Chains A and B, each alone.
Chain A
Amino acid sequence: MSTAKAIAQDVRTGTRRAAAVLEEYLGRIELHDSDIHAFNTVTAEQARAAAASIDAAVSQGRDPGPLAGVPIAFKDNMCTRGVPTTCSSRMLETWSPPYDATVVQAMTAAGAVMVGKTNLDEFAMGSSTEHSAFGPTRNPYDLTRVPGGSSGGSAAAVAAGFVPLALGSDTGGSIRQPAALCGIVGIKPTYGRVSRYGLVAFASSFDQIGPFAADVADAALALEVISGHDPGDSTSIPTAVPDYDAALGKGVEGLRVGVISELTGGGRNGSRNGGGNGNLLEGIDADIAERVLEAADALAEAGAVVGSVSVPAVTYGLTAYYLIAPAEASSNLARYDGTRYGLRIDGADVEEMNRLTRRAGFGDEVKARIMLGTFALSAGYYDAYYGKAQRVRMLTRRDFDAAYADYDVLLSPTSPCVAFRFGERSDPMTMYRCDTCTIPSNLSGDPAMSVPFGTGTDDLPVGVQILAPALGEETMLTVAAALERAAPPLPAPQMAAGGASGGA
């Protein structure tokens, strides 16, 4: 399978036709997506028209852009004009937005070809895609296991070779955790780096869009295309977008890399000082922590200065997040009331229509989070829950600032475990613990990404998380590229044995 970079280069130079590239990927989707269920919608006809116009541009001597002819999938919570945008919810099952999200416009302007919309946990609330109203996505590495979530469809689509690139959204780890579980690269950029205009809101002070790709270079290329200021999103950061590709070749010599002791159980053999000393946070598998320490060793071998660093507030991140995010969701999801779009169940008056519509339209987890958030914001409980959680958020910000005074980037596991089996984490707190290592970066707003590094239980992929200070994407990518060079090769996904590598 080609990289996005190679496809774009070939299409731009006329070596390959976008139409031929597209058919190859549509063939794989046709053959295997009935097993994986990565897609809610496949937009084959629209994609064929887009590919034809790319090829026409090339033949007329025009450059279609840096992603010319690259098939791409969007998580089904990004608005696509005239194409269903369901959020994997009964509430929006028949809704087609009247406009494109800014990231969709940016990808199209760069020459990428949308092939479809991917499955997710309903309204991005979950860590396994098991909360999708349309059925779960299966992990290409083992069809009896989850792909992670909430952007599980996008992650599985890239891992299965259905698309070289996909976009997801990350509110508490929803890009990085499925990237780790599916053995691919996933980036959550700095909050504000990528416009959220046209992303269906879940928790607005955390939500951030980012790319999935099979390698770091493709992820960097996609990140560069979608980054930048957008007047349509008042939280978007008005600074220039760096040349991320240039960061990939820089070595890590002299870079200071801090391993977060709370998330890895501290140093090994007394070789790393700092807090922790074997106090591995509850629920993080030992073999995952071991891969992170091996990744740190690999960086040290490549010339980085590696140490262990304590970031105490990360141990409270989960609790703070699961109060603030539902609070914001309870407000954002108030708009689904049966009035202007989506599902309506008729009632005798407006309020009854609201109640019946929301009863029928939302799944179990979404209802639970709306009510949890409503409770956390309600009179008499606001200070004890929401107010306190916001103070923990500040504590997290301060602890990261202290760590970044001594280190350029930090390392931790992405997910506390490898891909788990369907139904294995049905208790809410057990499921929420999937986000233990990823949530702190959403609280602080800093960038973080997952890079595959070896395997764990049952030979399943493990992701190492690289964290950087705000707008530190370049350094983060430099380290990611170095880790990728040092990583042991991953086994091929199980479904590839069924013929995906043969192509169409």
Chain B
Amino acid sequence: MGDQTAAISTDQVAHVARLARIELTSAEIDHYTGHLGRVLDHARELEDLDLAEVPPLAHPYPLQNVFRDDVAGAPSDRDEVLNQAPAASDGQFEVPPVLGGEA
């Protein structure tokens, strides 16, 4: 990435919006290209750092092999959960066709 190149293009934002499943208009794609570009431009300061010998840190506190006791808990009430669903039938979540066309 050279200094003159934009950190992210409108095509890349459109691609990322598809990956993230967010519908955007072309005006919105322009808007987010500017927003993301400003943050990613700032991120270029990391290019100055020599991090070759520094391992990545994913988790701040060293806990390992976390197991809980193998005892049955109280499950949530199915009706209480499904009452919060946008659509439910026969004790299940209801969604539009997954593969398109009629279900």
Query: B-contacting residues of A (Cβ < 8 Å)?
Result: 95-99, 190-192, 205, 231, 234-235, 237, 316, 318-320, 322-323, 330, 334, 337-344, 346-356, 358-359, 362, 367-368, 370-372, 374-375, 378, 384-385, 387-395, 397-398, 427-429, 432, 443-446, 470
Contacts and interface: CB of A to CB of B under 8 A. Distances in A.
A312 to B, nearest CB: 10
A-B pairs with lowest CB-CB distance, top 5: A445-B60, A344-B86, A390-B56, A394-B57, A355-B23
A191 B98 contact: no
A346 B57 contact: no
A381 to B, nearest CB: 9
A350 B96 contact: yes
Given A190-B61, A234-B66, A350-B98, A371 B22 contact: yes
B23 A391 contact: no
B39 A395 contact: no
Given A337-B21, A354-B21, A387-B56, A368 B97 contact: no
A191 B19 contact: no
B86 A343 contact: yes
Contacts of A354: 21
A248 B57 CA distance: 33
B80 to A, nearest CB: 4
Nearest to B74: A99
25 contacts: A205-B58, A316-B45, A318-B42, A330-B20, A339-B85, A339-B93, A340-B81, A349-B98, A350-B95, A351-B21, A353-B96, A358-B23, A359-B23, A362-B22, A370-B22, A371-B13, A371-B16, A371-B36, A392-B46, A393-B57, A394-B55, A429-B38, A429-B42, A443-B60, A470-B60
Contact of B8 (A192, A341, A375, A446): A375
Nearest to B99: A349
Contacts of A428: 35, 38-39
Nearest to A313: B49
B100 interface: yes
Interface string B58-83: 11110100101100000011001100
Interface string B87-103: 10000010111111000
Contacts of B99: 349
Contacts of B100: 348-349
Interface of B: 1, 8, 12-13, 16-17, 19-24, 32, 35-36, 38-40, 42-43, 45-46, 49, 51, 54-61, 63, 66, 68-69, 76-77, 80-81, 84-87, 93, 95-100
A389 B93 CA distance: 39
Contacts of B66: 234-235
B57 A397 contact: yes
A388 B85 contact: no
A470 B59 CA distance: 13
A388 B46 contact: yes
Contacts of A470: 60-61
B85 A98 contact: no
Contact of A235 (B42, B56, B63, B96): B63
B96 to A, nearest CB: 5
B38 A98 contact: no
Contact of A350 (B13, B20, B97): B97
B60 A205 contact: yes
Contacts of B76: 98-99
Contacts of B93: 339-340
Given A355-B23, A374-B19, A368 B36 contact: yes
